[in-house]
Structure 1
Amino acid sequence: MTAGNDFDPDTADPELFRALLTPHRSLNRTGFVLVMVLVSAISFAAGMVFLLMGAWPVFGFFGLDVLAIYWAFKINFRRAQACEQISITPSELRLRRVSHRGHVSEWVFNPLWVRLDRETHEEFGIEHLYLSSKGHRVAIGSFLGPDEKASFSKALIAALNAARRGPSYNPVA
C-alpha cells in the first residue's frame, strides 16, 4: 500500500450536514426599546388625563399595563435563546437541543437507521417533523414555520441519503 492509499480509522468523519435552528423573532433590541418608550409615553399621557379628572387609580393600572407588556417581551426574548443543532456524518446523526433555560438534551442516531417522519396538513403544509429510529421518536424544528420545515426536511433527507451512501475515499484527490 502506498502512502496515498492509507486509510486511517482514527480520523474524524467528514461532516455532511450541519444546521443550527433558532426561533425567529421579528423585533430586535432597538425595536423593543422603541416600542416600550412609545407604550410608556401613551400610557403616561392617558394616565395623566385620568389623574387630572380625579380617577387616580386608573393611573396605576396604566403602569401595570406597561409592566405586563415589558414582562411579556422579556419572556419572548428569553425563549428566543433556545436552539437545535443537527449534524450528520457518515457514522452518526447528532441532535443537540438547548432550551431557553439552558437545559441541554442530546441524541445520537445511526444515519442508516434514522427516518424523518412528517405530519402534513393539506392546507397549512408540514406541521411536525420527527426523527425516528428503533422505537425512539424525537420532534425537531417545532418553532419553524411550514415553509421552513419543508425546506429543512428536504435538506435533511438529502444529507441522510448522502450518509447512507457512505464515505467515498479517493486516493487521487
Structure 2
Amino acid sequence: MPYHWENTSDAEQRLRLWPHNSLPPRGAMAVVLAVFLFGLIPLLAVLGSVLLWGLLPFLLLTVAGLWLAFEANYRARSVHEVLTLSDTQAHLVRLAPRAPRQEWQCNRYWARPEIHPVGGPVPNYVTLAGEGRVVEIGAFLSEDERVSLYDDLVKRLRDPTVG
C-alpha cells in the first residue's frame, strides 16, 4: 500500500500517502540504457559511412526523449499527503511539485470521510469534509487502495484508540 499509518505519540496518529512507484530510478536508467544499446545494433551495419551520421541523431533523440519522459513522470509523482489526527484535530497537508502547500484543518469530531463511487474525477473518490470545506485525499491511489483508505479513515476518525 502506498500509504502508512504511524503512531507519533499516544494522542497522535499520522498517515502518509504517496503515489505508487512501479519503476524505481535504477530500473528507469536500465531501460534507457537498453534502448540505447538495442538502438546501436542497426547502426553497426552503417558503421564507417556517412549514413551513420544521418541515423545517429534519431537514436539520440529517442533516448533523450525517453529519459525526459521518465524525469517528468518522477517529478509528477513526487506529490505526497500527510494527515495528522490528534485527540481534537484533523490536519491534512498536501505537498505537490509546482504547487503551493495546501492545508486543511478541522475539529476531529466533525471530520467525516466520504467515498464517491461515481461522479468524482476518479472512481471511488475519497474526500474529507469538515469546517465547511470538502478536500480530496489520496486521489493518486488506485481504486482498491482508495476503498481501503476510506475504511481506515472511518475507523480511525471515529475511534482514536484504533491503531
Structure 2 length-normalised TM = 0.78
Q: Which has the larger radius of gyration?
A: 1
Total equivalences in the alignment: 149
Q: Deviations over 1:25-84 (max 9, x none)?
A: 111122122111101111233345467583743331221111110001111122232110
- Give the superposed CA RMSD: 2.6
Question: How big is the shift at 1:105?
Answer: 1.7
- List runs of 5+ in structure 1 lacking aligned partners: 1-11, 166-173
The answer to whether structure 1 residue 129 and structure 2 residue 126 are counterparts is yes
Question: How big is the shift at 1:87?
Answer: 1.3
Partner residue of 2:67 out of 56, 64, 70? 70
Aligned-residue identity in percent: 28
The within-5 A match list for 1:57-136 is 57-101=54-98, 103-121=100-118, 126-136=123-133
Contact 1:126/1:147, CA 8 A, preserved across alignment: no
Question: How big is the shift at 1:126?
Answer: 4.7
- Supply the distance in 2 between the matched residues of 1:72 and 1:47 (Cα, whole angstroms): 24
Q: Deviations over 1:81-101 (max 9, x none)?
A: 211001111210010111134
| Letter of the structure 2 residue corresponding to residue 128 of structure 1 | Y
The answer to whether structure 1 residue 148 and structure 2 residue 145 are counterparts is yes
| Letter of the structure 2 residue corresponding to residue 38 of structure 1 | A
- Supply the distance in 2 between the matched residues of 1:35 and 1:149 (Cα, whole angstroms): 30
- Supply the distance in 1 between the matched residues of 2:113 and 2:81 (Cα, whole angstroms): 16
| Letter of the structure 2 residue corresponding to residue 109 of structure 1 | C
Contact 2:91/2:103, CA 8 A, preserved across alignment: yes
Which residue number in structure 1 is paired with residue 26 of structure 2?
Answer: 30
Contact 2:126/2:137, CA 8 A, preserved across alignment: yes
- Supply the distance in 2 between the matched residues of 1:126 and 1:14 (Cα, whole angstroms): 33
Contact 1:13/1:91, CA 8 A, preserved across alignment: no
Contact 2:114/2:126, CA 8 A, preserved across alignment: yes
